[in-house]
Amino acid sequence: MEVGRLKYMTTEKLKKVNWKLVTILLVAFILRVWNLNVNPPSLSSDEAALGYNAYSILKTGKDEYGKLLPIIFKSFGDYKPGLCVYLTVPFVFLFGLNEWSVRLPSALAGVVGVYLLYSIVKKFIDYDFLQVETKVSSRSLALISSLIFALAPWHVYFSRGGWEANISLTLTLAGIYFFIKALKNNKFLIFSSVFFALTFIAYQGAKLATTIVLFTLAVLFWKNCIGFFKDCRKTLFFAFVLASLIASPSILSFSQGQTGRLTVFSVFSYPRPVDYIEKMLFQNNEKIGDLNYLLFHNEPLNYTRAILGRYFNHFSARFLFFDGDYQNPKHSSPNQGMLMFYDLLLLPFGFYYLGRSKGAFKKFILLLLLLTPLPAVLTRDQVQAVRALNMVVPLTLVSSLGGLSLIIFFRRLFKNSKAMASIAIVAFLFILTTSLVYFLDSYFIHQPIHNAKYWNWGYKQIIKTLLPIQDNYKIVYFQQGYDQPYIYYLFYSRYDPKAYQKQAKLSYYLGPDVGLVETLDNIDFAGWSWPFATGEKSTLTIGNGVAIPSDFSRKDYNLISEIKYPDNFMTAFRIVETK
């Protein structure tokens, strides 16, 4: 009797499970975790620093510089919020210090982000924040949104790496979800404030990105916000104090000289040189201060042009559909935009659907779409997929509305012709499938080979070759570079954090935000020109294929190892010893 009842209850629970959503989350998981240790093809220096600092915290409770449980971590001379380091610690404990432990937190956060977007859309529709002529099913639109988000190249790409921006995006989605729930039950305001505050200690760019989201919610629901002040002051006060405490280390970093990277990357840090302006004005016999200069060539106008150019670059077809982050090839897979090709079809229908609709959901999408590029356009890069990552949310929602609109359109157009409806569905599925296969080919087949050079490929192989023979040499000359070779040595050798903390020291000559380690044990990290160390005995020299050319003197050096890029054509590094 009891067994039968238990089976009945289990069956009823299984029936209530949203298996479509489970399937979508499974697809999202596979896309973000499959071959995660080898694609991207190598750890970036930032990923290696993230992993080693997590390892250092695990072993000693201190970061690589010996600071006890910091919230803001010093990294290559720059300072970064440290939440992602602490999220990585349990993964390093479980899996050791390797690519899996560094990337898995972001990959899992990406899957959670897919679920959160589903929940946000469902709440918006359940609360009647989207009003259209046709009755919209909250579950249908939420499922379409989660599926498009799960497949979006932009989101997949940044989920598959130790990207702080991706962790911040998931926290932002959690903040939005609990804010929407707080409109019905103000106690959820505390959860919302905590998740929004956590973005500040997860990602440097969240200072502006999260502020934009908070501004959007405040504008859309200003009546509810006023109601919070009137009806739930204690909850609001507690939420504000808690969020302030969480975010304070990141906010205070502004006054503690820990924002050098913001200065270096700001578009306002690059005024035109005076001689450039003078040469341009000389073309019309003008000078700085003349009326024409004040009207047409002044610096505020120049900055406005630069910012607007960057802004519209992020809405260009080249960025979104064809080339991706063309200024930073590391941020997208080859010949693939930040979105799918099928979004070219879905987005116009989505905007049409938005034009016919009313309500807060429409305004939420449009405001986010207009404002989320700002963290990227205020920097020196023409396009910047990392800082513009939050754009993927409103673009996904527009595409989702486009998908829903197409379904409705097909139903109406072919309601009397099953054959035509079937043809239309097959054609639509062909476009979707072709776009997906093209992206999968670009990312999983070509990305590990084509983009290897952008991912500092070869350092792992160098360190694995060096470690067994390192003690055989009096000194190892390791080519210095912006890639920060020392952090790869610490990471792949699993260097004792206590031992490194005693000697951790940076030299600054590349700029205020970048420091370099010059010596570590018997390794000398330095720049040099070939030929180098000729005649020195018991010496090992490590450099890239340019620093140590293919025609190096066999009379003076022995080739220990030549490490080629995955295309097996170009040489990444050579290791030679002096005779």
Spatial CB neighbours of 559, under 8 Å, sequence gap ≥ 6: 552, 574, 575, 576
End-to-end Cα spacing for the chain: 85
Which residues on neighbouring strands pair with residue 564, listed in sequence order?
571
Helix (H, G, I), strand (E, B) or coil at 24: helix
pLDDT tens-place string over residues 212-221: 999 999 999 9
Write down the pLDDT at residue 136: 66
Residue 261: pLDDT band (50, 70, 90) is: low
Residue 326 has pLDDT above 90, yes or no: yes
Question: In 10 A of CB 467, how many CB atoms?
Answer: 13
Tell me the whole-structure pTM to 2 decimals.
Answer: 0.93
* Domain ranges (residues) in the chain: 9-33+98-265+310-450, 455-578
Residue 255 has pLDDT above 70, yes or no: no
Residue 278: pLDDT band (50, 70, 90) is: confident
- Is the omega angle on the peptide bond into residue 531 within 30 degrees of 0, that is, cis? yes
- How buried is residue 524: exposed, middle or buried, by Cβ count under 10 Å (0-12/13-18/19+)? middle
Higher model confidence: residue 175 or residue 289?
175
Residue 283: pLDDT band (50, 70, 90) is: confident
Which residues on neighbouring strands pair with residue 561, listed in sequence order?
575
Question: Do 115 and 122 contact (CB within 8 A), yes or no?
Answer: no
The conformational region for residue 456 under phi > 0 = left, psi -120 to 50 = alpha, else beta, is left
Question: Do 129 and 8 contact (CB within 8 A), yes or no?
Answer: no
Write down the pLDDT at residue 282: 78
Q: How far apart are CA 135 and CA 404, in angstroms?
A: 11
Mean pLDDT of the chain: 90
Residue 297: pLDDT band (50, 70, 90) is: confident
Of 28-42, 500-514, 548-562, highest mean pLDDT: 28-42
* Structure token pair of residue 100: 């899996």
DSSP state of 266: B
Q: How far apart are CA 507 and CA 518, in angstroms?
A: 7
Spatial CB neighbours of 77, under 8 Å, sequence gap ≥ 6: 260, 506, 508, 512, 513, 514, 515
Write down the pLDDT at residue 548: 93
Question: Do 67 and 149 contact (CB within 8 A), yes or no?
Answer: no
Query: Chain centroid to CA 253: how far?
Result: 22
Write down the pLDDT at residue 17: 72
Write down the pLDDT at residue 496: 97
pLDDT tens-place string over residues 55-68: 999 999 999 999 99
pLDDT tens-place string over residues 401-412: 999 888 888 777
